[in-house]
A = this chain, B = another copy of it.
Amino acid sequence: MHTNIAGSDASSIRFQGHDLVEELIGKHSFTEVFFLLTCGRLPNATETRVLDACLVTLMDHGWTPTSLIARLAYDSAPSQVQIGISAGLLAVGDVFAGTMDGCAKLLAEGIGQADQDAWCRDVVQAHRTLKKPMPGFGHPFHKPDDPRPPRLFKVAAEAGVKGDYVALLQRLGRAVDAGYGRHLTINATGALAALLLEIGMPLAIMRGVSVVSRSAGLAAHIAEEQRSPTARQIWKMVEEEIPYRDPG
């Protein structure tokens, strides 16, 4: 049993077969080394550009459970910035921001189908029958269309991805509109699922990309909380709006 991620001796540190000091620091970006550690090889220019686009996209979305939690936890443990960020990241779950997995699983399954149109129709039909939401589709605020996917598809095309997963997602989008009888936007996590599949990011770790991305947004929220506190005001608002009442 061994690990390939990283190791060190007294005078050197290695990351996936590369010397950290000689080959990586100052020569490769955060995004490139993140790809290296996760995928086991340095990315090419296409992969770097696509991964950067993905990491930028989910970095923040203003007030969300993640930022609310991070600020409240920071305010309770101000000496330990990691508490605020970690507590917030726990909310990158099945409901918000962590939902790439579902769409990526669909796309990974659909990519090898002989008749993709039939497969898309079946997938939409199955979700409608089970009254399950289509992962990667719909958005509570961004209506009729999430502005991020078209930009992400353009960046990926310009960066030179093969484009099969993006095409499949768009095909699925047409099947969704037809099957539901109304337009449902491809959302950011759907588009990110397609892009990350294009660059070979393992499906099982995709939510990790959201987590890494959002950690940067939460650090920024905490930096702002340090300058302009909001946590006590949030607490006060809730106490006023949702008062205690004896049961019964």
Contacts and interface: CB of A to CB of B under 8 A. Distances in A.
Interface of A: 1-17, 20-22, 24-26, 28-31, 33-34, 37-40, 49, 51-53, 55-57, 59-69, 72-73, 75-83, 85-87, 89-96, 98, 141-143, 145, 147-148, 151-152, 154-155, 158-159, 202, 204-205, 207-213, 215-224, 226, 228, 230-231, 233-235, 237-239, 241-248
A86 B94 contact: no
Nearest to A237: B237
A13 B149 CA distance: 13
Best-surrounded residue of A15, A65, A235 (most CB of chain B within 10 A): A65
- The 9 closest A-B CB pairs, nearest first, are A7-B244, A77-B93, A26-B155, A208-B219, A37-B220, A76-B91, A30-B55, A34-B216, A6-B62
A215 B244 CA distance: 20
A142 B10 contact: yes
Contacts of A223: 38-39, 202, 204-205, 208
A67 to B, nearest CB: 7
Contacts of A209: 219
B233 A205 contact: no
Main secondary structure on chain A at its contact with chain B? Answer: helix
Contacts of A226: 202, 204-205
